[in-house]
């Protein structure tokens, strides 16, 4: 809780949010407006988070078209709530990095990106694991419940007050991992971490919601595909039918491509 409620941590979260060019929420308050009286605003926000009176503001619905052409329905919280979401991430991500996320997982993590995944993939390929189970998860953010998310988080965070505030943040959302909310990237990783634990005996690399399992033969690849499909099913997910396949050979540079 100190990392969530103390003004110094809320100020750091606000600064991180302000580095991004983003539009106002449903209340019409912009970052320029929020900066007016910032210290007083954050003091008040910290007190509300401490005593449990903080309630999220209204959401603004939005529709965006990604550069890949993909259409995405999103919601935009108020800038004040974005500060809370960022502070929550700052508080809990170090815990999840150590206790929940595997070393072969990159994307939505500090210092771990597609290049990290490519380097790890190259090691497996040079060792002769040239049969690759290449699985893109279909709608990784859809279909979870608040109870599920809090349950996954409670496996690593034991501060009941923090979990209660986290639940308050999620309860107002149309889905707990809805696109557009700052908590979503971390929660996608937390959801997939449940599946990651079930395929840890395979030579695996995951970048965001794209898995690659490396094997020596077609038979092993078929077994790996079945194991990963079963692992994803435990959190209500499936491989994307149009983007998932078993490759008989692959170059590392051809993996983890962002194609929408």
β-pairing, 60-65 with 71-76?
antiparallel
Percentage, residues of the chain above pLDDT 70? 97
- What was the pLDDT predicted at 260? 45
Note the pLDDT tens digit of each residue in 98-114.
999 999 999 999 899 99
- What was the pLDDT predicted at 21? 67
> Does pLDDT of 72 surpass 90?
no
Nearest CA-CA partner of 242 in 141, 143, 138: 138
Region 137-142: what's the mean pLDDT?
A: 94
**Which letter does DSSP use for residue 109 in this model?**
B
Note the pLDDT tens digit of each residue in 149-165.
999 999 999 999 999 99
> What's the rounded Cα separation, in Å, for the pair 207 and 121?
10
> What's the rounded Cα separation, in Å, for the pair 146 and 69?
30
| pLDDT band at 250; cut points 50, 70, 90 | confident
Q: What is the mean pLDDT of the chain?
A: 94
> What one-character-per-residue DSSP string does 131-192 give?
EEEEEEBTTTTSS--HHHHHHHHHTT---HHHHHHHHHHHHTSSSTT-TTSTTHHHHHHHHH
Neighbouring C-beta atoms of residue 240, cutoff 10 Å? 15
Q: How far is CA 164 from CA 76, 88, 94, in A?
A: 22, 12, 19
19 vs 227, more confident: 227
- What was the pLDDT predicted at 259? 63
Q: How far is CA 51 from CA 44, 90, 165, in A?
A: 11, 20, 10
| pLDDT band at 257; cut points 50, 70, 90 | confident
CA torsion sign, 70 to 85 to 142 to 255?
positive
Region 24-39: what's the mean pLDDT?
A: 92
Which token pair is 138?
């279909």
pTM above 0.75, yes or no: yes
- What was the pLDDT predicted at 68? 66
Region 127-140: what's the mean pLDDT?
A: 96
With a CB cutoff of 8 Å and minimum separation 6, the contacts of 154 are 163
Q: How far is CA 79 from CA 4, 5, 174, in A?
A: 16, 17, 18
- What was the pLDDT predicted at 22? 77
Note the pLDDT tens digit of each residue in 176-230.
999 889 999 999 999 999 999 999 999 999 999 999 999 999 999 999 999 999 9
């Amino acid at each position: 809780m100190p990392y969530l409620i103390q003004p110094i941590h809320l100020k750091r979260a606000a600064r991180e949010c302000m580095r991004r060019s983003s539009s106002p929420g449903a209340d019409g308050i912009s970052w320029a407006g929020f900066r007016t009286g910032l210290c007083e605003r954050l003091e008040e926000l910290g007190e509300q988070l401490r005593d449990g009176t903080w309630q999220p503001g209204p959401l603004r619905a939005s529709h965006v078209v990604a550069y890949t052409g993909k259409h995405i329905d999103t919601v935009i919280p108020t800038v004040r709530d974005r500060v809370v979401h960022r502070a929550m991430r700052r508080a809990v991500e170090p815990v999840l990095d150590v206790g929940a996320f595997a070393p072969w997982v990159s994307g939505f993590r500090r210092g771990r990106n597609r290049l990290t995944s490519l380097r790890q993939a190259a090691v497996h390929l040079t060792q002769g694991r040239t049969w690759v189970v290449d699985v893109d998860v279909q709608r990784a953010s859809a279909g979870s419940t608040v109870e599920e998310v809090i349950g996954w988080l409670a496996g690593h965070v034991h501060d009941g007050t923090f979990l209660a505030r986290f639940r308050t943040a999620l309860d107002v959302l149309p889905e707990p991992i809805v696109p557009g909310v700052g908590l979503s990237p971390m929660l996608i990783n937390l959801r997939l971490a449940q599946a990651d634990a079930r395929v840890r005996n395979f030579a695996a690399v995951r970048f965001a919601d794209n898995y690659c399992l490396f094997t020596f033969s077609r038979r092993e690849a078929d077994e790996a595909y079945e194991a990963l499909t079963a692992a994803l099913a435990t959190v209500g997910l499936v491989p994307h039918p149009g983007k998932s396949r078993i490759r008989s050979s692959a170059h590392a540079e051809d993996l983890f491509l962002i194609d929408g």
